[in-house]
Amino acid sequence: MTKKSALDTEDSATDAAARAGWLYYVGGLTQDQIAAELGVSRQRAQRLVSKAMSEGLIHVRLEHRIAACLALEAGLKRRYGLRLVRVAPAQGPGTDPTHALAPVAAEVMERFLRQPDPLIIALGTGRALRAMAEELPKMTCEQHKLISLVGNIAPDGTASNYDVLMRVADTVRAPHYPMPLPVIIDDEEIRRMFYALPQLKIVARLADQADVTFVGVGHMTESAPLYIDGFISARDLHEQRAMGAVGEVATWCYDSEGRYLEDGLARRVGGLRAGGKPGGEVIGIASGPEKVIPLRAALKGGLLNGLVTGEETAEALLADPE
């Protein structure tokens, strides 16, 4: 009757494991106490507790609204091989997704800013980053360097409304390196001239060494922020879309596989691509239904290795099969 006895021992072993797990996780006893209670050695108690957990007898649940967000974070990390993911809880329908994102994004950035070691922090632009900047607390970060990836001169010649760099640098009191050029430079000669400027080379070199980069992610539908804000023309938009553009990061468009497009508009962009030093973090900050396609592409192509997004967006990013 080896079979029956095997079953018996298996059952009683599982029973003992369950009992030990109950005492440990529910009762809060120490393994010594469990050993005494069950009349076994401490090591055996430890093994039973471990077995209870590994066999899934113990089910742990987190009773909090961010529990779902944490699960989404884990899913996104695994699926896209990301290093840092934060998912902001949904704030109910009708609320601006960017607004919900800002405090969470600010928290992420604050963590970098609080590092005592000097960091090079590169910044893109856009509404999400602007909102993040508003949520940053006042602090003093003389040790870091903030640099901008995008030009700070809007098409009309004024400083851009969404100049994130200045706002952040002002709030956190850090040395900062703006990019003194237009977002889009139509004349190739002038563009080359800009790029030859010494201070721009400094910024470019810093950007290449960035420890962490924060960028927004733009969509390329008819309501593309680049177009709405007048940085590119309808014709540019259609051209890029025809070339397969589904999103842009720091004005650089990419296709559905997350590959940067090298022709057309890309030849007129004033600014740098997100990247930073090898092993540096590139964190995308974006949320909303229109961001799902651009985000998925950017993540697939490895343009980002970090993400701050909203609950619904995260769900959408994980919804479709691999």
Q: By the criterion CB under 7 A, which residues form the site for DNA?
A: 2, 24, 30-32, 40-44, 46-47, 49-50
Phi, psi for residue 165 in degrees, rounded to 5: -55, -50
Question: Residue 30 binds what, of its own copies, DNA, none (CB under 5 to 8 Å, by partner type)?
Answer: DNA
Question: Residue 167 binds what, of its own copies, DNA, none (CB under 5 to 8 Å, by partner type)?
Answer: none
Which residues have C-beta within 8 Å of that of residue 154, sequence separation ≥ 6? 160, 161, 182, 183, 230, 231
Q: How far is the CB of 140 from its own copies (least distance, A)?
A: 13
Stretch that binds its own copies, among 86-94, 191-199, 219-227, 238-246 (CB under 8 A): 86-94
Question: Which of 19, 127, 144, 219 is in the footprint of its own copies by CB under 8 A?
Answer: 19
The Cα 175–Cα 191 span in angstroms is 26
Closest by alpha carbon to 284, among 87, 69, 71?
87
Closest by alpha carbon to 107, among 83, 82, 86?
86
Q: How far is the CB of 27 from its own copies (least distance, A)?
A: 4
Q: How far is the CB of 41 from its own copies (least distance, A)?
A: 12
Question: Residue 132 binds what, of DNA, its own copies, none (CB under 5 to 8 Å, by partner type)?
Answer: none
Q: How far is the CB of 31 from DNA (least distance, A)?
A: 3
- Say if residue 54 is exposed, middle or buried (CB neighbours under 10 Å; 0-12, 13-18, 19+): exposed
The answer to whether 22 contacts its own copies (rule: CB under 8 A) is: yes
Question: Which of 6, 7, 62, 228 is in the footprint of its own copies by CB under 8 A?
Answer: 62
Phi, psi for residue 284 in degrees, rounded to 5: -90, 140
The answer to whether 13 contacts its own copies (rule: CB under 8 A) is: no
Question: Residue 47 binds what, of its own copies, DNA, none (CB under 5 to 8 Å, by partner type)?
Answer: DNA
The Cα 253–Cα 43 span in angstroms is 59
DSSP for 121-187? EEE--SHHHHHHHHHPPP---TT-EEEEEEEEE-TTSSBPTT-HHHHHHHHHT--EEEEEEESB---
Question: Which of 9, 41, 43, 95 is in the footprint of its own copies by CB under 8 A?
Answer: 95
Which residues have C-beta within 8 Å of that of residue 64, sequence separation ≥ 6? none
The SS3 assignment for 251 reads: coil
The answer to whether 68 contacts its own copies (rule: CB under 8 A) is: yes
Stretch that binds its own copies, among 87-95, 192-200, 239-247, 257-265 (CB under 8 A): 87-95
Question: Residue 60 binds what, of DNA, its own copies, none (CB under 5 to 8 Å, by partner type)?
Answer: its own copies
